[in-house]
Structure 1
Amino acid sequence: MYKSLTSNQKQILEKEFSFYKSLSKKHQKQFRHRVASFIDDKEFVGRSGEIVTLEMQTLIAAVGCMLSFGRKEYLYDMIETIIIYPDEFYSSNNDAYHKGEFNPRLKVLVLSWKHFKDGYEVDNDNYNLGLHEFMHAMHLETRISKHIDGMRFKRHFHHIMARIADKDVRQKLDDKQFFRAYAFTNQFEFMAVITEYFFESPKDFKQHYPILYDHVNKALNMQIAGF
């Protein structure tokens, strides 16, 4: 049975979330159900004076559900709590200020609302904090998953890693500098960054690196959403 969103939540998606507007009526109904289920499944906590609003819950859930829309397991079992700060926050994990952070041990996703909003409001600059952090959670979850979603992700992730290990492909990546340098920090950051590009610049991504694009598309099973 499908869960429903309030009229205010529907308006938020229709007004502020371009991915939702691009879906068919059938898929919009499914997306609303998933957003409602996500909100019911997680605890949202405001910090540093931030008051959690319906808009925050709806849009954070929407970004997570956009990334997992091609999956049957879409709720991110490794996330139980979402902490929202108004701006950058101090993290004791590495004694630095962050815009976002995923802590798998505590099952906590932490976000700066300011930078999260920038991520989805400007949807063509290849920066999307929500997508980036949700991909970290998805990536770690799939490493231990026996579900078909996890197995598919792992298979195509290995293809992606093999692809960028190819000398000619890596030279092309270095020469073109299509992806920002931070992508090459490690395999987790690479996957998180190219996911931002996949959703925000799909045509350019596909034109420059069609095989890499195809593996990301299949890893996420996003063909159903027209990618």
Structure 2
Amino acid sequence: MSREETKILEEYFPYYQQLPEGFQKEFRQRLALFICNKCFYARGDLRGVTLEMKVLISATAVKLLFGFPKHILLRHFDKILIYPDRYLSTQTNKYHNGEVNPRYGVIVISWKSFMKGFALPNDGVNLGIHEFAHALKIENQIKYNGEHSFLDKVWWKRYIELAAEEIQKVKEGGNSFFRLQASENIHEFFAVSVEAFFEKASEFKIYNPDLYESLVNLLHQDPIVLFAGGIVKEFALAKA
């Protein structure tokens, strides 16, 4: 990676800033590989894709993937489209801030909405994390490119059981940690819960420690332990 790319991480990406030094080096390596495996396209009135856009969007994906083996790159999704703001989706004919289209291997991002996630890093709402969580779940089921079945089946089953309880609680208007969007279906719940996992980890763990633990084991990392300077067991094994 260039010095300019590293500077963007150092200034704007808290996850990278809080990693132990050895993991920072690996993060940069994985980020460079991710960027090389994607094509970025400006859409709408966006005049071009800047280096900052490439680095921050890709770093968000690497954050989610960092506990997995290095070959997991979400290869099916090789195109990232960036709009300046909300856009009219050709898939749904509705205005969106972002979406994932597995048919065409596309992830779509509204840059304005994406950057809101950096302006409010602890509110549990982050468009980049949300869309890449969708892509992660879909990639796990795609078998042609050697990246499938990387989510542990036992922990996924446990996650589904716990998620069903939370989805019902949100639907019934109960006192849930998760916003209304999470109640739409298991796909949306997963994306919303992964947002909370990275942005409100401590509160999440207090609210539902079992659900939090299931995500630790699915993603092979624990932000609470990692940022405290430690290495969770599953995370260390995945990095070996």
| Structure 1 and Structure 2 fold alike (TM over 0.5) | yes
- Counterpart position of 1:133: 131
Residue 184 of structure 2 is aligned to residue 185 of structure 1: yes
- Counterpart position of 1:160: 159
Structure 2: 5+ residue stretches without partners: 227-231, 233-240
Instruction: Output the aligned Cα RMSD.
Output: 2.3
Residue 114 of structure 2 is aligned to residue 116 of structure 1: yes
- Give 1:130 deviation, angstroms: 0.5
CA distance in 1, matches of 2:159, 2:143: 19
- Counterpart position of 2:213: 214
- Counterpart position of 1:102: 100
Q: Is the 8 A contact 2:140 2:151 kept in 1?
A: no
- Counterpart position of 2:52: 55
Counterpart AA for 1:55: E
**Number of aligned residue pairs:** 222
**Residues 208 and 76 of structure 1: CA distance in aligned 2, closer, same or farther (over 3 Å):** same
**Residues 11 and 185 of structure 1: CA distance in aligned 2, closer, same or farther (over 3 Å):** same
CA distance in 1, matches of 2:120, 2:64: 17
**Residues 149 and 220 of structure 1: CA distance in aligned 2, closer, same or farther (over 3 Å):** farther
CA distance in 2, matches of 1:120, 1:158: 32
- Counterpart position of 1:69: 66
- Counterpart position of 1:28: 24
Give deviations 1:29-84, integer Å, cap 9, x for gaps: 00000111111110000012311000000001100000100011431112111010
**Residues 171 and 85 of structure 1: CA distance in aligned 2, closer, same or farther (over 3 Å):** closer
**Residues 148 and 174 of structure 1: CA distance in aligned 2, closer, same or farther (over 3 Å):** farther
Higher helix share: 1
- Give 1:156 deviation, angstroms: 1.9
Pairing 1:10-49 to 2, within 5 Å after superposition: 10-49=6-45
**TM-score normalised by L of structure 1:** 0.90
**TM-score normalised by L of structure 2:** 0.86
Give deviations 1:109-129, integer Å, cap 9, x for gaps: 110000011113321111100
**Residues 83 and 211 of structure 1: CA distance in aligned 2, closer, same or farther (over 3 Å):** same
- Give 1:202 deviation, angstroms: 0.2
Q: Identical aligned pairs, as a percentage? A: 37
